Amino acid sequence: MSSVLFSPFSLGALGLRNRIVVSPMCQYSAVEGNATAWHRIHLGQLAQSGAGLLFIEATAVEAIGRITPGCLGLYSDANVTALRGVLDDVRMFSDMPIGIQLAHAGRKASSARPWDGGQLLPASQGGWATVAPSAIPHAAQEAPPQALDAEGLARIREAFIQAARRSAELGLQAVELHCAHGYLLHQFLSPLSNQRDDAYGGGLTQRMRFPLEVFDAVREVLPPAIPLGVRVSATDWVEDGWDLEQTLAFAHALKQRGCDWIDVSSGGLSPRQQIPIGPGYQVPLAEAVRAATGLPTMSVGLITEARQAEAIVADGRADLVALARALLWNPHWPWHAAAELGAQVKVPPQYWRSEPREARGVFANAAIGQR
Protein backbone atom coordinates (compact mmCIF):
# COMPACT_ATOMS: atom_id res chain seq x y z
CA MET A 1 0.00 0.00 0.00
CA SER A 2 1.06 3.63 -0.47
CA SER A 3 0.81 5.57 2.78
CA VAL A 4 -0.07 9.28 2.66
CA LEU A 5 1.10 9.68 6.27
CA PHE A 6 4.60 8.65 5.18
CA SER A 7 4.66 10.75 2.01
CA PRO A 8 6.88 13.85 1.80
CA PHE A 9 5.58 17.33 2.58
CA SER A 10 7.01 20.84 2.59
CA LEU A 11 6.51 23.71 5.00
CA GLY A 12 7.73 26.67 3.01
CA ALA A 13 11.27 25.82 1.93
CA LEU A 14 11.62 23.03 4.50
CA GLY A 15 11.13 19.52 3.15
CA LEU A 16 9.88 16.78 5.47
CA ARG A 17 10.21 13.03 4.93
CA ASN A 18 6.72 12.35 6.24
CA ARG A 19 3.65 13.99 7.81
CA ILE A 20 4.38 13.07 11.45
CA VAL A 21 5.41 15.96 13.71
CA VAL A 22 6.78 15.75 17.25
CA SER A 23 4.66 18.33 19.02
CA PRO A 24 6.28 20.82 21.44
CA MET A 25 6.09 19.25 24.91
CA CYS A 26 7.02 21.17 28.06
CA GLN A 27 9.53 19.30 30.22
CA TYR A 28 9.84 21.75 33.16
CA SER A 29 13.47 20.70 33.53
CA ALA A 30 15.49 23.81 32.64
CA VAL A 31 17.57 25.85 35.09
CA GLU A 32 17.21 29.64 34.70
CA GLY A 33 15.87 28.93 31.22
CA ASN A 34 18.91 26.83 30.30
CA ALA A 35 18.58 23.41 28.69
CA THR A 36 19.98 20.55 30.79
CA ALA A 37 21.03 16.94 30.43
CA TRP A 38 17.35 16.01 30.52
CA HIS A 39 16.77 17.92 27.25
CA ARG A 40 19.69 16.08 25.68
CA ILE A 41 18.10 12.74 26.59
CA HIS A 42 14.56 13.81 25.72
CA LEU A 43 15.28 15.46 22.36
CA GLY A 44 17.89 12.86 21.45
CA GLN A 45 15.35 10.09 21.93
CA LEU A 46 12.67 11.84 19.88
CA ALA A 47 15.16 12.69 17.12
CA GLN A 48 15.43 8.92 16.51
CA SER A 49 11.66 8.45 16.32
CA GLY A 50 11.37 8.53 12.53
CA ALA A 51 9.05 11.55 12.54
CA GLY A 52 9.33 14.20 9.84
CA LEU A 53 9.86 17.19 12.15
CA LEU A 54 10.76 17.66 15.81
CA PHE A 55 9.69 20.74 17.79
CA ILE A 56 11.45 21.90 20.93
CA GLU A 57 9.04 22.69 23.76
CA ALA A 58 7.37 26.08 24.32
CA THR A 59 10.37 28.33 24.89
CA ALA A 60 9.97 31.62 26.73
CA VAL A 61 11.13 34.84 25.10
CA GLU A 62 11.69 36.54 28.46
CA ALA A 63 12.22 35.25 31.97
CA ILE A 64 8.80 36.32 33.25
CA GLY A 65 7.23 34.58 30.26
CA ARG A 66 8.13 31.11 31.54
CA ILE A 67 5.21 28.96 32.65
CA THR A 68 7.27 27.59 35.54
CA PRO A 69 10.76 28.24 36.93
CA GLY A 70 11.76 25.03 35.13
CA CYS A 71 10.70 26.13 31.65
CA LEU A 72 13.10 26.56 28.76
CA GLY A 73 14.05 30.06 27.62
CA LEU A 74 15.76 31.77 24.73
CA TYR A 75 16.22 35.21 26.27
CA SER A 76 19.92 35.19 27.17
CA ASP A 77 23.34 34.25 25.84
CA ALA A 78 23.48 31.54 28.50
CA ASN A 79 20.27 30.05 27.12
CA VAL A 80 21.79 29.95 23.64
CA THR A 81 24.98 28.29 24.85
CA ALA A 82 23.13 25.60 26.78
CA LEU A 83 20.71 24.79 23.96
CA ARG A 84 23.50 24.78 21.39
CA GLY A 85 25.30 22.07 23.35
CA VAL A 86 22.19 19.92 23.37
CA LEU A 87 21.50 20.46 19.67
CA ASP A 88 25.09 19.71 18.68
CA ASP A 89 24.87 16.32 20.36
CA VAL A 90 21.44 15.51 18.93
CA ARG A 91 22.53 16.45 15.42
CA MET A 92 25.54 14.15 15.57
CA PHE A 93 23.18 11.21 15.24
CA SER A 94 20.08 12.60 13.50
CA ASP A 95 19.37 14.77 10.47
CA MET A 96 15.70 15.20 11.43
CA PRO A 97 14.68 18.86 11.02
CA ILE A 98 14.33 20.61 14.39
CA GLY A 99 12.07 23.59 15.05
CA ILE A 100 11.17 25.62 18.11
CA GLN A 101 7.98 27.05 19.56
CA LEU A 102 8.44 30.59 20.90
CA ALA A 103 6.09 31.59 23.68
CA HIS A 104 5.17 33.91 26.51
CA ALA A 105 2.92 32.59 29.26
CA GLY A 106 1.45 35.95 30.29
CA ARG A 107 -0.92 35.53 33.26
CA LYS A 108 -0.31 31.74 33.31
CA ALA A 109 3.38 32.26 34.13
CA SER A 110 4.98 31.91 37.57
CA SER A 111 3.36 28.54 38.17
CA ALA A 112 4.61 25.46 39.98
CA ARG A 113 5.62 22.45 37.90
CA PRO A 114 2.69 20.09 37.25
CA TRP A 115 4.08 17.47 39.61
CA ASP A 116 4.34 20.17 42.29
CA GLY A 117 0.69 21.15 41.96
CA GLY A 118 0.78 23.61 39.06
CA GLN A 119 -0.58 26.50 41.10
CA LEU A 120 0.43 30.15 40.79
CA LEU A 121 3.63 30.70 42.79
CA PRO A 122 3.96 33.68 45.13
CA ALA A 123 7.28 35.53 45.30
CA SER A 124 8.04 33.77 48.58
CA GLN A 125 8.12 30.47 46.70
CA GLY A 126 10.16 31.61 43.71
CA GLY A 127 7.36 33.22 41.73
CA TRP A 128 7.17 36.62 40.05
CA ALA A 129 4.63 39.23 38.96
CA THR A 130 2.81 38.27 35.77
CA VAL A 131 1.54 40.39 32.87
CA ALA A 132 -1.46 40.15 30.57
CA PRO A 133 -3.61 42.25 28.22
CA SER A 134 -5.91 43.10 31.13
CA ALA A 135 -5.71 42.78 34.91
CA ILE A 136 -7.91 39.66 34.93
CA PRO A 137 -6.58 36.54 36.69
CA HIS A 138 -6.72 33.12 35.05
CA ALA A 139 -8.52 31.70 38.09
CA ALA A 140 -10.64 33.67 40.52
CA GLN A 141 -8.46 32.89 43.54
CA GLU A 142 -5.25 34.05 41.86
CA ALA A 143 -3.64 37.48 42.09
CA PRO A 144 -4.45 39.58 39.04
CA PRO A 145 -1.69 40.15 36.47
CA GLN A 146 -0.41 43.57 35.55
CA ALA A 147 -2.05 45.00 32.42
CA LEU A 148 0.59 45.67 29.80
CA ASP A 149 1.21 49.29 28.83
CA ALA A 150 2.83 50.55 25.62
CA GLU A 151 6.31 50.05 27.04
CA GLY A 152 5.50 46.48 28.06
CA LEU A 153 4.09 45.66 24.63
CA ALA A 154 7.21 47.03 22.96
CA ARG A 155 9.45 45.03 25.31
CA ILE A 156 7.66 41.75 24.59
CA ARG A 157 7.58 42.37 20.85
CA GLU A 158 11.33 42.95 20.94
CA ALA A 159 11.79 39.81 23.05
CA PHE A 160 10.10 37.73 20.35
CA ILE A 161 12.38 39.35 17.75
CA GLN A 162 15.53 38.55 19.71
CA ALA A 163 14.39 34.97 20.39
CA ALA A 164 13.73 34.50 16.66
CA ARG A 165 17.24 35.76 15.87
CA ARG A 166 18.70 33.36 18.43
CA SER A 167 16.68 30.52 16.87
CA ALA A 168 18.24 31.25 13.49
CA GLU A 169 21.68 31.53 15.09
CA LEU A 170 21.19 28.03 16.52
CA GLY A 171 20.39 26.63 13.08
CA LEU A 172 16.81 25.75 13.98
CA GLN A 173 14.86 25.01 10.83
CA ALA A 174 11.32 26.12 11.72
CA VAL A 175 9.69 28.52 14.19
CA GLU A 176 6.19 28.33 15.61
CA LEU A 177 4.55 31.16 17.57
CA HIS A 178 2.44 29.96 20.49
CA CYS A 179 -0.94 31.70 20.22
CA ALA A 180 -2.81 28.92 22.02
CA HIS A 181 -3.56 27.26 25.37
CA GLY A 182 -4.32 30.46 27.25
CA TYR A 183 -0.83 31.94 27.02
CA LEU A 184 -0.12 35.61 26.29
CA LEU A 185 -0.84 35.88 22.57
CA HIS A 186 -4.01 33.83 23.03
CA GLN A 187 -4.93 36.12 25.94
CA PHE A 188 -4.89 39.05 23.52
CA LEU A 189 -7.14 37.19 21.07
CA SER A 190 -9.87 36.11 23.49
CA PRO A 191 -12.52 38.58 24.70
CA LEU A 192 -12.56 36.69 28.00
CA SER A 193 -9.01 37.80 28.85
CA ASN A 194 -8.67 40.95 26.74
CA GLN A 195 -10.94 43.75 27.94
CA ARG A 196 -8.71 46.67 26.97
CA ASP A 197 -10.21 49.93 25.75
CA ASP A 198 -7.27 50.97 23.56
CA ALA A 199 -6.14 49.96 20.07
CA TYR A 200 -5.31 46.43 21.31
CA GLY A 201 -8.74 45.55 22.70
CA GLY A 202 -12.42 45.60 21.86
CA GLY A 203 -13.41 44.21 18.47
CA LEU A 204 -11.77 41.28 16.72
CA THR A 205 -9.45 43.45 14.62
CA GLN A 206 -8.13 45.16 17.73
CA ARG A 207 -7.70 41.91 19.67
CA MET A 208 -5.74 40.38 16.79
CA ARG A 209 -3.46 43.40 16.49
CA PHE A 210 -0.68 42.48 18.95
CA PRO A 211 -0.35 38.81 17.89
CA LEU A 212 -0.19 39.94 14.26
CA GLU A 213 2.42 42.58 15.11
CA VAL A 214 4.52 39.88 16.75
CA PHE A 215 4.13 37.63 13.72
CA ASP A 216 5.17 40.42 11.35
CA ALA A 217 8.17 41.33 13.49
CA VAL A 218 9.38 37.72 13.71
CA ARG A 219 8.84 37.06 10.01
CA GLU A 220 10.88 40.16 9.17
CA VAL A 221 13.99 39.01 11.08
CA LEU A 222 13.89 35.30 10.21
CA PRO A 223 15.77 34.24 7.07
CA PRO A 224 13.35 33.37 4.24
CA ALA A 225 14.46 29.73 4.35
CA ILE A 226 13.08 29.31 7.88
CA PRO A 227 9.31 28.74 7.75
CA LEU A 228 7.12 30.41 10.36
CA GLY A 229 3.85 28.94 11.63
CA VAL A 230 1.38 29.57 14.42
CA ARG A 231 -0.31 27.33 16.97
CA VAL A 232 -3.84 28.44 17.76
CA SER A 233 -6.56 27.39 20.12
CA ALA A 234 -9.45 27.32 17.67
CA THR A 235 -11.96 27.71 20.49
CA ASP A 236 -11.92 28.50 24.20
CA TRP A 237 -14.80 26.03 24.69
CA VAL A 238 -16.46 28.79 26.74
CA GLU A 239 -19.57 30.76 25.79
CA ASP A 240 -18.76 34.23 24.42
CA GLY A 241 -15.07 33.38 24.22
CA TRP A 242 -12.69 32.89 21.30
CA ASP A 243 -14.26 30.56 18.74
CA LEU A 244 -13.76 28.94 15.36
CA GLU A 245 -15.24 31.85 13.38
CA GLN A 246 -12.71 34.24 14.94
CA THR A 247 -9.94 31.70 14.41
CA LEU A 248 -10.70 31.62 10.69
CA ALA A 249 -10.44 35.40 10.51
CA PHE A 250 -7.11 35.25 12.33
CA ALA A 251 -5.87 32.48 10.03
CA HIS A 252 -6.80 34.52 6.94
CA ALA A 253 -4.84 37.49 8.33
CA LEU A 254 -1.86 35.23 8.98
CA LYS A 255 -2.02 33.81 5.47
CA GLN A 256 -1.84 37.31 4.03
CA ARG A 257 1.35 37.83 6.04
CA GLY A 258 3.09 34.71 4.75
CA CYS A 259 2.30 32.20 7.48
CA ASP A 260 3.52 28.74 6.47
CA TRP A 261 1.16 26.60 8.59
CA ILE A 262 -1.48 26.65 11.31
CA ASP A 263 -1.15 24.15 14.17
CA VAL A 264 -4.72 23.73 15.41
CA SER A 265 -5.37 22.98 19.06
CA SER A 266 -8.00 24.34 21.47
CA GLY A 267 -8.76 25.40 25.03
CA GLY A 268 -6.47 26.41 27.86
CA LEU A 269 -7.70 29.95 28.44
CA SER A 270 -10.33 29.46 31.12
CA PRO A 271 -11.03 27.01 33.96
CA ARG A 272 -14.67 27.19 32.80
CA GLN A 273 -13.93 25.36 29.54
CA GLN A 274 -16.10 22.39 28.64
CA ILE A 275 -14.13 20.21 26.22
CA PRO A 276 -15.78 17.21 24.51
CA ILE A 277 -12.65 15.07 24.72
CA GLY A 278 -12.46 11.95 22.57
CA PRO A 279 -10.21 10.41 19.91
CA GLY A 280 -9.31 13.05 17.32
CA TYR A 281 -11.64 15.59 18.94
CA GLN A 282 -9.74 18.57 17.50
CA VAL A 283 -9.47 17.24 13.94
CA PRO A 284 -12.69 19.00 12.78
CA LEU A 285 -11.15 22.31 13.87
CA ALA A 286 -8.03 21.71 11.77
CA GLU A 287 -10.21 20.58 8.87
CA ALA A 288 -12.22 23.81 9.04
CA VAL A 289 -9.08 25.97 9.03
CA ARG A 290 -7.61 24.04 6.10
CA ALA A 291 -10.84 24.23 4.09
CA ALA A 292 -11.35 27.95 4.71
CA THR A 293 -7.79 29.16 4.15
CA GLY A 294 -5.92 26.57 2.11
CA LEU A 295 -3.05 26.87 4.58
CA PRO A 296 -1.16 23.72 5.55
CA THR A 297 -2.53 22.54 8.89
CA MET A 298 -1.35 20.31 11.71
CA SER A 299 -3.91 18.43 13.75
CA VAL A 300 -3.30 17.48 17.38
CA GLY A 301 -5.12 15.86 20.28
CA LEU A 302 -5.73 12.18 21.04
CA ILE A 303 -4.32 10.95 17.76
CA THR A 304 -2.87 7.65 18.90
CA GLU A 305 -3.35 4.99 16.21
CA ALA A 306 -1.54 4.58 12.89
CA ARG A 307 -4.64 4.08 10.78
CA GLN A 308 -6.37 6.98 12.54
CA ALA A 309 -3.47 9.28 11.61
CA GLU A 310 -3.37 7.88 8.07
CA ALA A 311 -7.07 8.58 7.57
CA ILE A 312 -6.74 12.18 8.80
CA VAL A 313 -4.17 13.08 6.15
CA ALA A 314 -5.48 10.76 3.42
CA ASP A 315 -8.97 12.25 3.71
CA GLY A 316 -7.57 15.79 3.53
CA ARG A 317 -8.68 16.79 7.01
CA ALA A 318 -5.16 17.98 7.87
CA ASP A 319 -1.79 17.95 6.17
CA LEU A 320 0.21 16.74 9.16
CA VAL A 321 -0.46 15.13 12.52
CA ALA A 322 1.43 16.36 15.57
CA LEU A 323 1.85 13.78 18.33
CA ALA A 324 2.72 14.49 21.94
CA ARG A 325 1.74 12.05 24.69
CA ALA A 326 1.57 9.18 22.21
CA LEU A 327 5.27 9.69 21.47
CA LEU A 328 6.19 9.94 25.13
CA TRP A 329 4.43 6.64 25.69
CA ASN A 330 6.03 5.07 22.62
CA PRO A 331 9.01 7.06 21.21
CA HIS A 332 9.15 4.65 18.26
CA TRP A 333 5.51 5.22 17.32
CA PRO A 334 6.46 6.14 13.70
CA TRP A 335 8.46 2.89 13.33
CA HIS A 336 5.45 0.84 14.33
CA ALA A 337 3.08 2.95 12.24
CA ALA A 338 5.31 2.44 9.20
CA ALA A 339 5.24 -1.32 9.75
CA GLU A 340 1.44 -1.29 10.01
CA LEU A 341 0.98 0.94 6.96
CA GLY A 342 3.58 -0.70 4.73
CA ALA A 343 5.87 2.33 4.75
CA GLN A 344 9.48 3.06 5.68
CA VAL A 345 11.38 5.22 8.17
CA LYS A 346 15.00 6.25 8.49
CA VAL A 347 16.70 4.97 11.66
CA PRO A 348 20.28 5.05 12.97
CA PRO A 349 22.49 2.07 12.10
CA GLN A 350 22.88 1.22 15.78
CA TYR A 351 19.21 0.12 15.69
CA TRP A 352 19.11 -1.71 12.35
CA ARG A 353 19.36 -5.12 14.01
CA SER A 354 16.16 -4.46 15.97
CA GLU A 355 13.97 -4.80 12.87
CA PRO A 356 11.75 -7.85 13.48
CA ARG A 357 11.40 -10.46 10.76
CA GLU A 358 7.73 -9.65 10.16
CA ALA A 359 8.59 -5.98 9.58
CA ARG A 360 11.59 -6.42 7.29
CA GLY A 361 11.96 -3.45 4.95
CA VAL A 362 10.57 -0.84 7.36
CA PHE A 363 14.07 0.58 7.95
CA ALA A 364 14.61 2.38 4.67
CA ASN A 365 18.36 2.86 5.11
CA ALA A 366 19.23 -0.49 6.71
CA ALA A 367 22.21 -2.36 5.30
CA ILE A 368 21.68 -5.74 3.67
CA GLY A 369 23.45 -8.83 4.91
CA GLN A 370 23.99 -7.86 8.52
CA ARG A 371 26.00 -10.41 10.48
Q: pLDDT digit string (tens) for 218-235? A: 999 999 999 999 999 999
Calculate ∠ Cα 186-191-194, nearest 5°. 70
Rounded to whole angstroms, how far apart are CA atoms 237 and 268? 9
Residues 257-262: what's their mean pLDDT? Answer: 98
Mean of all residue pLDDT scores within the chain:
96
pLDDT at 369 over 60: no
pLDDT category at 370 given cuts 50, 70, 90 is: very low
pLDDT at 187 over 70: yes
Residues 156-176: what's their mean pLDDT? Answer: 98
Residues 120-143: what's their mean pLDDT? Answer: 94
What type of residue sits at position 149?
D
Secondary structure of the chain in the HEC alphabet? Answer: CCCCCCCCEEECCEEECCCEEECCCCCCCCECCECCHHHHHHHHHHCCCCCCEEEEEEEECCHHHCCCCCCCECCCHHHHHHHHHHHHHHHHCCCCCEEEEEECCHHHCCECCHHHCCCECCHHHCCCCCEECCCCCCCCCCCCCEECCHHHHHHHHHHHHHHHHHHHHCCCCEEEEEECCCCHHHHHHCCCCCCCCCCCCCCHHHHHHHHHHHHHHHHHHCCCCCCEEEEEECCCCCCCCCCHHHHHHHHHHHHHCCCCCEEEECCCCCCCCCCCCCCCCCHHHHHHHHHHHCCCEEECCCCCCHHHHHHHHHCCCCCEEEECHHHHHCCCHHHHHHHHHCCCECCCHHHHHHCCHHHCCCECCCCCCCC
Of the candidates 75, 183, 200, 281, the residue annotated as catalytic is 183
| pLDDT value for 314 | 98
Which domains can be identified in the chain, with CATH numbers? Answer: 9-359 (3.20.20.70)
| pLDDT value for 367 | 63
Residues 348-371: what's their mean pLDDT? Answer: 80
Residues 242-267: what's their mean pLDDT? Answer: 98
Residues 196-211: what's their mean pLDDT? Answer: 98
pLDDT at 137 over 90: yes
pLDDT at 364 over 90: no
pLDDT at 279 over 90: yes
| pLDDT value for 1 | 58
More confident residue, 360 or 227: 227
Torsion sign over Cα 173, 177, 180, 181: positive
| pLDDT value for 264 | 98
User: What is the per-residue pLDDT across 17-72, written as a single tens digit (0 to 9) for each?
Assistant: 999 999 999 999 999 999 999 999 999 999 999 999 999 999 999 999 999 999 99
Dihedral angle, C-alpha 347, 331, 289, 314, nearest 10 °? 60
| pLDDT value for 359 | 84
Residue 183 a catalytic site member? yes
Residues 269-293: what's their mean pLDDT? Answer: 96
Residues 120-132: what's their mean pLDDT? Answer: 94
pLDDT at 358 over 90: no
- Say how many residues make up the chain: 371
pLDDT at 357 over 70: yes
